[in-house]
């Protein structure tokens, strides 16, 4: 049995569609433990972390992607950041949100997220990052990203994403799959019909990744009968790159006046990383040294 988190990429038909599939059970379990999310918050964050890894797999070497879901639901938004190396991090505004199950007896992710917009910011190392924005379609995450790919990137896409949460709140299975038509494939109506038939037959996405089947086996099962060629695979993980040095630089950017107020207050400065919940404490003497670096005559 191999339940390790990893991502695979494959081509369908005569290179008519591409598939990205990823198991994220471990990733979401770590996020849940770090943030203490309730089941509905775990599902919303887990789906978005999964999509962050999918988008990360589409990046070039040093590029990064940031997903922002800004909406009016009690979850108070979602932020996820990922890179091309299979690393992702993220958090929700209100990890303690509690909601009844929806009419279908499932976690009310759409209600928790609410109405608003999905923002995708791709940093390619240029002066200005690429910024794509679309209105949320349902707040269920999968529908919203399918709409984003189709409208913002002009790539017809199907998105299957889910998180199965146990009664104790711990994820039992998490993962996702994105299928995108390649240029020219829209002319092959028979191929598209066969794709749609197989995708619509998938009922419980989260359950697919709760068992012992590998991402490759899941893809093979869904698209049985279609020509399938796997391209590559990569490990994925929840990984935060915060550091004491980075937060120290962040304090400097506040400016001399604000740093002086901290020094005058005489209390240590505590900074909390929203992505991984790690805390950094700067003694007042350290803040005074940062003030000196800014050339303040009052330090």
Question: Token match 């190392």: residue?
Answer: 125
Here the tokens at position 123 are 């940093």
Query: Do residues 143 and 169 lie in contact, with contact meaning Cβ atoms separated by under 8 Å?
Result: no
Residue 296: predicted pLDDT? 47
The domain limits of the chain are 6-238, 244-293
Here the tokens at position 209 are 């990744």
Give the pTM. 0.92
> How far out from the chain centre does Cα 121 lie?
12
Residue 293: predicted pLDDT? 81
Here the tokens at position 148 are 């984003």
Question: Token match 């005559």: residue?
Answer: 297
Query: Do residues 50 and 266 lie in contact, with contact meaning Cβ atoms separated by under 8 Å?
Result: no
Residue 264 vs residues 52, 188, 238, 291: alpha-carbon distances, Å: 42, 71, 38, 12
Which CATH number is 6-238 given? 3.55.30.10
What torsion do the CA atoms of 83, 84, 86, 89 make, to the nearest 10 degrees? 10
Spatial CA neighbour of 29 closest among 2, 1, 61, 4: 4
Residue 2: predicted pLDDT? 57
C-alpha–C-alpha distance, residues 120 and 67, integer Å: 5
> How far out from the chain centre does Cα 268 lie?
33
Q: Count how many Cα atoms sit within 13 Å of the Cα of residue 168 in the half-sphere of its side chain.
A: 5
Residue 212: predicted pLDDT? 83
pLDDT digits (tens, 9 = 90+) for 254-279: 888 888 888 888 889 999 999 999 99
pLDDT tens for the chain, 299 residues long, are 457 999 999 999 989 999 999 999 999 999 999 999 999 999 999 999 999 999 999 998 889 999 999 999 999 999 999 999 999 999 999 999 999 999 988 999 999 999 999 999 999 877 788 899 999 999 999 999 999 999 998 999 999 999 999 878 889 999 999 999 988 777 788 888 999 999 999 888 888 898 888 999 999 999 999 999 999 999 999 999 999 999 998 998 888 888 888 888 888 999 999 999 999 999 999 988 888 887 744 43
Q: Count how many Cα atoms sit within 13 Å of the Cα of residue 5 in the half-sphere of its side chain.
A: 22
Spatial CA neighbour of 120 closest among 88, 80, 93: 80
Residue 159: predicted pLDDT? 96
Bridge partners, residue 66, by sequence: 81, 121
Which CATH number is 244-293 given? 3.90.1280.10
């Amino acid at each position: 049995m191999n339940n390790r988190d990893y991502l695979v990429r494959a081509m369908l038909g005569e290179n008519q569609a591409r598939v990205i599939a990823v198991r994220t059970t471990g990733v979401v379990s770590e996020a849940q433990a770090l943030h203490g999310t309730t089941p509905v918050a775990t599902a919303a964050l887990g789906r978005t972390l999964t999509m962050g890894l999918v988008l990360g797999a589409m990046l070039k070497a040093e590029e990064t992607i940031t997903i922002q879901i800004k909406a009016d639901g009690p979850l108070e938004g979602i932020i996820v950041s990922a890179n091309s190396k299979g690393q992702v991090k993220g958090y929700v505004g209100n990890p303690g949100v509690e909601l009844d199950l929806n009419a279908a007896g499932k976690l009310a992710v759409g209600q928790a997220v609410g109405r608003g917009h999905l923002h995708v910011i791709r940093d390619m190392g240029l002066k200005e990052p690429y910024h794509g924005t679309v209105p949320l379609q349902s707040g269920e995450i999968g529908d919203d990203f399918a709409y984003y790919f189709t409208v913002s990137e002009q790539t017809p896409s199907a998105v299957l994403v889910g998180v199965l949460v146990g009664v104790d709140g711990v994820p039992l299975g998490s993962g996702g799959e994105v299928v995108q038509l390649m240029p020219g494939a829209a002319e092959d109506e028979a191929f598209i019909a066969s794709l749609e038939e197989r995708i619509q037959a998938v009922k419980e996405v989260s359950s697919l990744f709760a068992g012992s089947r590998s991402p490759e086996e899941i893809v093979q099962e869904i698209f049985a009968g279609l020509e399938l060629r796997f391209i590559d695979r990569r490990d994925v993980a929840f990984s935060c790159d915060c550091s004491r040095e980075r937060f120290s630089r962040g304090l400097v950017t506040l400016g001399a006046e604000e740093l002086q107020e901290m020094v005058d207050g005489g209390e240590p400065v505590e900074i909390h990383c929203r992505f991984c919940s790690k805390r950094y404490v700067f003694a007042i003497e350290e803040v005074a040294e940062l003030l000196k670096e800014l050339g303040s005559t009052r330090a």
